[in-house]
Chain A
């Protein structure tokens, strides 16, 4: 097991290394002045240019520059945003939790809804629950999420007025940012309208979460259903049935564990799609997350911000994938002993 973890970690280091090289090369590949791309400072005078050149080691070899880059990344100096003039890392630190919050809630929703639905659909294969779930899934799978978001806004915000249209929390409440996770911050904050603020935050979360959860939910339903159907056809299920286990025991003890193993892997793979979808959702619901910020930065040709945002998002996706992979191997006795790490 320890050897396996070591292999995994070495693979992770390697992937992060490749990622850092890519990010490093971005500032050379982006159009515009190299020094501006690196520092985010425009119109600098001669002395400051000299200072910056010394800082970024522009007169030395590429290797030296890369090492300097790594040093800066680890110290939290990710350059200065061209549009806001503030530290990129500071931006990410404030904005990323909002995105993670949204993604995690969406993922929890999709797991909570998707896996039971998939199981029901497999157990009642080709009967009405399966038909119902499968057709609704097909519908949800094929609906573009920006359209779904607009439809939901139209019905629930504009017509019915049940949910707010944008933002993370109403303007009435002022929450001190401690962790930058809204719900956590509300719980940590010490002020009289605790419950109301929490409720308000949940109200704000509802629509973006539904929109974002739609795609992963449908994928999980389909995947769980197929995996479950496959497992139920296996010989060991027949044997277990012959052992005298009831249908419920059979599904809980044998079918579920085997069917969910590939699903765990799938959840990890969904993370990259989820982040992409989160960007769209954030733009539509004016959610102050890293996705919306990244898209704005792209519009504004804010190269240091794009570089930093990409690095942060890709790092997050890699780590999420790794976590899913690790938990899969912890639960699956067959892959636990696999000698080599895999991406």
Chain B
């Protein structure tokens, strides 16, 4: 079943003299139980898309979309209050700096307990509700792999490590049994071992609870092996989307190809101090976006036609936006 269906999502920032289009007509759809990766360099608008879905963008940004359906309900047409209710019931989000996302003046127990909705405790009598809530908090902590629940529950966020904070965030996120978990670069602040733990946790949540995950990351190799579908973004434009495997094996867009190439393959044997492959140039700042295909100035395949924004084309469940795709024979 289609959980999320977004057409032509555009996010704009109004400045004094112009309108900057940070995200340009993105299409995104997500099925139940699917792990979808949103990949791109920093500044490509990945986080903006996630925040636009949950409605956490502040007033400076204007969000427009032809449709943004959540299980058939158009979120764009709802009042903010109704939208907040639907979104908070079914969608949970975890962020890249977990310790900043926890209230510094409340202890962990209160913060997790708060995210357990009252409906879950309906059949418990009012008097034992407090202890029932506490039991649930402990169960949630165990579920995310925190064994020492006594200590963590009575701690304040500044007393815990980033890794534990992120696990607490995940515990808070799954407290409502959401259908979709949006993970916005959840492992950026973590060490490698904790990073692996968090990924394993998310993977098991997806497999055991059939929870969809929208994974936002700029590290391709980490999500490549467990995401089902993938979206590659560049500068707020969709570059290529499709099943992860086919995207990796047969990239149609020069940017995707560059991304795949830039992953150092140690099995192939890289010689000592060999230069790694990287696309020349850097991602342009939002204030100086090129017209047409935004990859234009950096693209190895660019030609004159690239000053016009390419139309998204589809073939075999694979969508790409390029005038000169890497299809043999074309």
Is A236's CB under 8 angstroms from B103's CB?
Answer: yes
- Find B92's partner among A235, A240, A242 (CB 8 Å cutoff): A242
**A234-B100, A238-B56, A244-B115 as given contacts; A333 in contact with B89, CB under 8 Å:** no
Is B172's CB under 8 angstroms from A333's CB?
Answer: no
B104 on interface, CB distance cutoff 8 Å: yes
Q: B94-136 CB contact bits vs A (8 Å, 1 = yes)? A: 0101001111111100000011010000000000000000000
Is A261's CB under 8 angstroms from B105's CB?
Answer: yes
A239 on interface, CB distance cutoff 8 Å: yes
Is A245's CB under 8 angstroms from B114's CB?
Answer: yes
Interface 9-mer from A45-53, A194-202, A252-260: A252-260
Is A238's CB under 8 angstroms from B101's CB?
Answer: yes
Is B103's CB under 8 angstroms from A244's CB?
Answer: no
Is B101's CB under 8 angstroms from A244's CB?
Answer: no
Kindly state the interface size class of chain B when it binds its partner. Answer: 20 to 34
Is A258's CB under 8 angstroms from B103's CB?
Answer: yes
Is A235's CB under 8 angstroms from B101's CB?
Answer: yes
**A242-B88, A244-B115 as given contacts; A333 in contact with B104, CB under 8 Å:** yes
CA distance A236 to B102 in the complex (A): 5
Q: How far apart are B120's CB and chain A's nearest CB, in angstroms?
A: 12
- Find A334's partner among B102, B158, B172 (CB 8 Å cutoff): B158
A243 on interface, CB distance cutoff 8 Å: yes
CA distance A236 to B56 in the complex (A): 12
Interface members, chain B 167-181 (any A CB < 8 Å): 169, 172, 176
CA distance A333 to B106 in the complex (A): 8
| Contact residues of A: prevailing secondary structure | helix
Is B176's CB under 8 angstroms from A333's CB?
Answer: no
Is A241's CB under 8 angstroms from B56's CB?
Answer: yes
- Find A243's partner among B85, B115, B158 (CB 8 Å cutoff): B115
Q: B72-103 CB contact bits vs A (8 Å, 1 = yes)? A: 00000000000011011101110101001111
- Find B97's partner among A235, A243, A254 (CB 8 Å cutoff): A235
A332 on interface, CB distance cutoff 8 Å: yes
Residues of B close to A257: CB separation below 8 A: 103, 105-106
Is A334's CB under 8 angstroms from B104's CB?
Answer: yes
B54 on interface, CB distance cutoff 8 Å: yes
- Find A235's partner among B100, B114, B158 (CB 8 Å cutoff): B100
- Find B101's partner among A239, A246, A332 (CB 8 Å cutoff): A239
Q: How far apart are A264's CB and chain B's nearest CB, in angstroms?
A: 12
- Chain A contact residue count (CB 8 A cutoff): 21
Is B114's CB under 8 angstroms from A243's CB?
Answer: yes
CA distance A258 to B84 in the complex (A): 23
CA distance A25 to B93 in the complex (A): 64
Is B88's CB under 8 angstroms from A236's CB?
Answer: no
Residue in B84, B88, B100, B104 whose Cβ sees the most chain A Cβ within 10 Å = B104
B226 on interface, CB distance cutoff 8 Å: no
Is B117's CB under 8 angstroms from A244's CB?
Answer: yes
Is A241's CB under 8 angstroms from B84's CB?
Answer: yes
B199 on interface, CB distance cutoff 8 Å: no
- Find B114's partner among A234, A253, A333 (CB 8 Å cutoff): A253
B156 on interface, CB distance cutoff 8 Å: yes
**A258-B103, A261-B105 as given contacts; A242 in contact with B158, CB under 8 Å:** no
CA distance A321 to B6 in the complex (A): 56
Residues of B close to A334: CB separation below 8 A: 104, 156, 158
Interface members, chain A 314-343 (any B CB < 8 Å): 331-334
Residue in A239, A332, A333 whose Cβ sees the most chain B Cβ within 10 Å = A239
Interface members, chain B 229-286 (any A CB < 8 Å): none
CA distance A266 to B102 in the complex (A): 25
Is B103's CB under 8 angstroms from A242's CB?
Answer: no
CA distance A245 to B81 in the complex (A): 11
CA distance A244 to B93 in the complex (A): 11
Residue in A234, A240, A332 whose Cβ sees the most chain B Cβ within 10 Å = A240
**CB closest chain-B residue, reference A126:** B59
The 7 closest A-B pairs by CB, nearest first: A244-B88, A239-B101, A333-B156, A235-B100, A243-B115, A235-B101, A236-B103
10 additional A-B residue pairs with CB within 8 Å, beyond A243-B88, A254-B103, A333-B158:
A234-B100, A236-B104, A239-B93, A242-B93, A244-B84, A244-B115, A244-B176, A253-B114, A258-B103, A331-B105
A interface residues (Cβ-Cβ under 8 A, vs B):
234-236, 238-246, 253-254, 257-258, 261, 331-334
Report 15 cross-chain contacts, Cβ distance below 8 Å, ordered by A residue. A234-B100, A235-B95, A236-B100, A236-B102, A239-B101, A240-B103, A242-B56, A243-B114, A243-B172, A244-B89, A253-B106, A257-B103, A258-B103, A333-B104, A334-B104
